[in-house]
Structure 1
Amino acid sequence: MKLLAGFLLISSSLSLCCLFLSKLLEPEYFYGAEFDVRVINGFSTNSSLPLVIWCSSDDHGDIGGRALQEGDDFSWAVRSNFWGAAARFLCTVKWDSTRKRFDAFEAERDGRRCGPFRKCSWLVREDGFYFSSDEVNWKKDFSWF
């Protein structure tokens, strides 16, 4: 019985080591993981007034902006560096005379919550900003004010 328990312990330890090593050998750990960031105009009452968004990053500079009509989106890819760190992307969103700045992507916060497919989506609505990693299940992250 002790022999079997010892074998199972060694076997499970080896399996964990192999899994860890296989993760280290994946290309993304050498070249950086890529995250898809998307901001969607989820307003239902602004057909004549677009949602204006402008984003930038200290590492990547100004990535531009868009005037989004209902259902339109602005998206870009973020690649982390060798150590897993990625730039912080700060966006300013303007609707009529209301403005809000928010972190559309922050490596420490979003590394895990963007899910296994690394999808970081924001839905901007009249009552606030919603986050999702699958664009099916949305959770309100914060309000305009």
Structure 2
Amino acid sequence: MIKYSFFLLIASSFLLQPTASQPNCFLDNKYAVYIVSNLPPKSPPLQVHCISKDDDLGHHNLTQNVEYRFAFCEIAFVTMFSCRFRWNGHDRGFHVYDANWDYNRCRSAGICYYVVKSDGFYFTNVYPPKKVGFLCGWNPSSKC
């Protein structure tokens, strides 16, 4: 019986290991950030590079209607992810998640869903999205 219990303990620890795309958040809130390219057909791909203080999520090229997703466990007052977006001569960066936001636009559902269009960035905190609202333009002077 002890051998069987030990085997179950070891097996469950491997099965319950978090992965990069599906972290296991024991006491922390789990969030998912989605970035979708909704740029015109035959236009250059959207280049996305997201980082936090501890993680560099790499460079991603998104063609039309392609989705990039990452998930993480929030550490209160510490977690922040910013992304830089480049497309067709435009270059814009902003925080896609910040635990210090006065109003956390992602908090209610743990979803940060961004759609990138030729006129700027749209947002919803619902997945799958039913409707997205305009967040900001490509011009760095517009606040996201």
TM-score > 0.5, shorter chain as reference: yes
> Is the contact made by 2:98 and 2:104 (CA closer than 8 Å) also made in structure 1?
no
Aligned to 2:55: 61
> Is the contact made by 1:54 and 1:65 (CA closer than 8 Å) also made in structure 2?
yes
| Greater than 6 Å deviation, 4+ residue runs | none
2:100 to 108, 128, 131: 108
RMSD across aligned C-alpha pairs, in angstroms?
2.2
C-alpha spacing 1:95/1:110, structure 2 compared with 1 (3 Å): farther
Q: How far did 1:85 drift?
A: 3.2
Is residue 135 of structure 2 the alignment partner of residue 141 of structure 1? yes
Q: Greater CA radius of gyration, 1 or 2?
A: 1
Distance, in Å, in 1 between the alignment partners of 2:80 and 2:107 is 18
Distance, in Å, in 2 between the alignment partners of 1:138 and 1:110 is 21
> How many residues align structurally?
114
Distance, in Å, in 2 between the alignment partners of 1:128 and 1:79 is 28
Amino acid at match of 1:98: H
Aligned to 1:34: 30
Identical counterparts, % of pairs: 24
Aligned to 1:22: none
Q: TM-score, normalised by structure 2?
A: 0.70
Distance, in Å, in 2 between the alignment partners of 1:110 and 1:72 is 31
The SS at the match of 1:103 is strand
Q: TM-score, normalised by structure 1?
A: 0.70
Q: How far did 1:74 drift?
A: 1.2
Q: Structure 1, unaligned stretches of length 5 or more?
A: 1-27
Aligned to 1:93: 85
Deviations 1:78-136 (A, max 9, x none): 2112xx33421111101022111111111233874225431110000011101101122
Aligned to 1:125: 117
More helix by percentage: 1
> Is the contact made by 1:65 and 1:74 (CA closer than 8 Å) also made in structure 2?
no
Distance, in Å, in 1 between the alignment partners of 2:46 and 2:114 is 13
